[in-house]
Amino acid sequence: MFQISIATAEDAAEILALQRLAYESEAQLYKDRSIPPMTQTLESLITEIKVATVLKATEGSSIIGSVRATLAEDVCLVGRLMVDPARQGRGIGTALLRAIEDMFPQARAFELFTGSKSDGNIRLYIRHGYVVTGARQASQEISLVVLTKHRNTDAAETGQLQALLSRVGAALDEFLKFEHPDSLHPGHRWQRQLDIPLPKVGVGIERVTEELIRDIIPNGTAIPRPGFSAFITTGGTTAAVLAATAANVAAPQRASLTAFNLLEEVSLKWLASMCGVGAMQGIYSSGGSTANLLALGAARQCAFEQHGRDVAAQGIDRPVAVYATAEAHHTIQRSAGVLGLGRRAVRAIACDGQGRMDPEDLRRHIAADQRAGVLPIAIVANAGTTNTGAIDPIRAIGELARSHGIWLHVDGAYGLPGILDERKAPLYEGLELADSAIVDPHKWLGASVGVAATFVRDRELLLRAFTQEPAAYLEGTIEQTPSASRVIEHSMDDFGIPYYDYGVELSAPSRGVVVWALIREIGVEGMRARIRRHNDMAAHIAHIARQHPNLELLLEPTLSICCFRYVHRNVVDLDRLNRQLHRRLVRENRNLPSTTVVGGALALRPCFIGARATLAQADSLVEDVLRIGAEVAQELSR
């Protein structure tokens, strides 16, 4: 329907005239529509056109290919769009709009004004990315001027959040119905659709939004499902998503005096108080791994300072030891490696049958190291092991630590909030002896992944362990005269509490607002109810497993992890049976626990922490295990 004749470079005079016309029409348009005029001047537009490569096409040739080619080269296009006279006055503007949408998928978000001008001109105006202006001439010819990207505007969309987030939000709500198949469902095509070569030319925010909604969100993870109980991870609750999104936009960095910055500290205090370490000061980092690293960094600093050495500045100069059980999270070894202590410095302290540290074995190791002149750095006690949820005897370990002047670190990444369940609180006895503790709000508390907290008695120690040398480009930006006359009247007058000096991240998101939102929404009582419910779920499965002839409880649950397995008198290789059962269970996509090994036996290991997991899910898991277990047992006993 539309045809274009592209001007040749020799047609410069005509191009400029055409452009002038276009620009004037546009200026008029701005005036009429009260749209703020572009900051570009006509001269700058003309300059652009002059340097542009102008494609040549014969009169009447199709516009599509030419225009795409032109855009791919990122040059300007000036041309005339010919309109079929028969269509004049019959929805021509809409038709033209469609054609342009086709030509410029990356410039979808534009406004079109057509028609009703007294001069009979059609005017098109694309706000984002490209400028198109058209004027309908008496000859039924529409002049189309397409300029390359507006030079004063970034190619990226930086607004429209209400419209776009509401569409993405709707897609996410749909995702949360969990009616979609697993991302690797038969016939899936998203890998091919997404694994494309580096795009030279962008497709624009509209296409990005469409692809997010169509190809990416429906092919997300199983983690937020109510029946997902694998590992120790879950999806964020709505409050977490809202707060994280707000922070992404309104405070992408935690530093500087904003409401977000204040909430870092407020929420750290809330969290400490809620988790039984209210006397401590905290810092957020990305996860339990970094949180443990920071705590052990503080422990290392403290141990060496007692010997007059600033280990952060000078490094270690003697053999050292960290005491932890084999059940401790493996990030303890990695932290020891990163901190220059060496992974082998981590002593493997024996556990009892419940996976709890044996204080007597700890005592023996410390004594042996003392005799060998090894400097003890820290004892790591677990408040909820990753494997089974075991809680080490904190008081006994803490007293030992005190008597030897050794730092006590409590890894409560998963289990520290378990203290809220009054029935479990006695297991945390002695927590007040800890020198550091960690908890991951992105586990039991429902934050989206990326939020962990390290608590220490005195953050100054963290400062000495992790401080960076002052930098002109950072602190130098801020007037730091410690006088009473220093005026703080802008959020950028101060960075606030220097969290960036207490850990390993300089740039870091505002995480406090997420924890604030989680606790503010449901309060301590809401958290307590969740934790009790999840502990009940593990206890419920344990109870059934104790009674049922085809189930075996492998370990009494401490918190919300239950290790059990399916058994059958006709099957000898129960590990094989449970492995196959587990694979089928996961494929059904309803109940998704992980497995572990307890006392040498392969165990099904649901760990309930997700806000969507309700008591009914525990029953549903047991039903599925019994059903699939019977099928597999029958197959194996044939």
Q: Which is nearer to ligand PLP, 264 or 440 (CB)?
A: 440
**Least distance to ligand PLP from the beta carbon of 349, Å?**
16
CB of 385 closer than 8 Å to CB of 413: no
Q: Which is nearer to ligand PLP, 70 or 386 (CB)?
A: 386
CA distance linking residue 73 with residue 79, whole number of Å: 16
**Least distance to ligand PLP from the beta carbon of 439, Å?**
10
Query: Is residue 227 close enough to count as binding ligand PLP by CB under 6 A?
Result: no
Query: Is residue 388 close enough to count as binding ligand PLP by CB under 6 A?
Result: no
**Least distance to ligand PLP from the beta carbon of 292, Å?**
6
Query: Is residue 356 close enough to count as binding ligand PLP by CB under 6 A?
Result: no
The SS3 assignment for 313 reads helix
Structure-derived torsion over alpha carbons of residues 327, 329, 332, 333, reported in degrees to the nearest 10: 70
DSSP state letter for 453: E
Residue with tokens 């101060």: 494
Q: Which is nearer to ligand PLP, 92 or 453 (CB)?
A: 453
CA distance linking residue 203 with residue 109, whole number of Å: 11
**Least distance to ligand PLP from the beta carbon of 194, Å?**
26
CA distance linking residue 170 with residue 402, whole number of Å: 54
Query: Is residue 411 close enough to count as binding ligand PLP by CB under 6 A?
Result: yes
CB of 39 closer than 8 Å to CB of 62: no
Q: Which is nearer to ligand PLP, 456 or 577 (CB)?
A: 456
Residues 298-337 within binding reach of ligand PLP (CB under 6 A): 329, 331
Q: Which is nearer to ligand PLP, 133 or 385 (CB)?
A: 385
Residue nearest to ligand PLP (CB): 288
Q: Which is nearer to ligand PLP, 232 or 574 (CB)?
A: 232
Residues 129, 288, 297, 503: which binds ligand PLP (CB under 6 A)?
288
CB of 419 closer than 8 Å to CB of 431: yes
Q: Which is nearer to ligand PLP, 106 or 386 (CB)?
A: 386
Residue with tokens 């141990």: 303
How many residues belong to the site for ligand PLP (CB under 6 A)? 13
CB of 205 closer than 8 Å to CB of 157: yes
**Least distance to ligand PLP from the beta carbon of 607, Å?**
9
Query: Is residue 285 close enough to count as binding ligand PLP by CB under 6 A?
Result: no
The window from 57-65, 177-185, 284-292, 543-551 that contacts ligand PLP (CB under 6 A) reads 284-292
Q: Are strands 407-411 and 436-439 parallel, antiparallel or unpaired?
A: parallel
Binding mask 95-124 for ligand PLP (x = CB under 6 A): ------------------------------
**Least distance to ligand PLP from the beta carbon of 71, Å?**
44
CB within 8 Å of 96: residues ≥ 6 apart: 2, 81, 83, 112, 114, 122, 124, 134, 142
Query: Is residue 284 close enough to count as binding ligand PLP by CB under 6 A?
Result: no
CB within 8 Å of 285: residues ≥ 6 apart: 291, 293, 294, 452, 453, 454, 503, 504, 505, 508
Q: Are strands 375-382 and 320-325 parallel, antiparallel or unpaired?
A: parallel
Burial bucket for residue 347 (CB in 10 Å: 0-12, 13-18, 19+) = buried
CB of 366 closer than 8 Å to CB of 323: yes
Query: Is residue 591 close enough to count as binding ligand PLP by CB under 6 A?
Result: no
Residues 129, 204, 235, 287: which binds ligand PLP (CB under 6 A)?
287
CA distance linking residue 591 with residue 594, whole number of Å: 10
Q: Which is nearer to ligand PLP, 392 or 411 (CB)?
A: 411
Q: Which is nearer to ligand PLP, 206 or 440 (CB)?
A: 440
Binding mask 416-455 for ligand PLP (x = CB under 6 A): ------------------------x-----------x---
Q: Among 272, 254, 325, 262, which residue's Cα sits nearest to residue 436? A: 272
CA distance linking residue 354 with residue 348, whole number of Å: 16
Burial bucket for residue 575 (CB in 10 Å: 0-12, 13-18, 19+) = middle
The window from 1-9, 49-57, 282-290, 344-352 that contacts ligand PLP (CB under 6 A) reads 282-290
Q: Which is nearer to ligand PLP, 148 or 292 (CB)?
A: 292
The window from 45-53, 262-270, 285-293, 490-498 that contacts ligand PLP (CB under 6 A) reads 285-293
The window from 20-28, 93-101, 144-152, 408-416 that contacts ligand PLP (CB under 6 A) reads 408-416
Residue with tokens 């309060």: 523
Query: Is residue 386 close enough to count as binding ligand PLP by CB under 6 A?
Result: yes
Q: 12-33 and 42-51 helices cross at what angle (nearest 10)?
A: 140
Please provide the DSSP assignment of 261-325 as one string: HHHHHHHHHHHHHHTT-TT-EEEEESSHHHHHHHHHHHHHHHHHHTTT--HHHH---S-EEEEEE
The window from 101-109, 295-303, 406-414, 429-437 that contacts ligand PLP (CB under 6 A) reads 406-414
CB of 585 closer than 8 Å to CB of 228: no
Binding site residues, ligand PLP, CB under 6 A:
232, 287-289, 292, 329, 331, 386, 411, 413-414, 440, 452
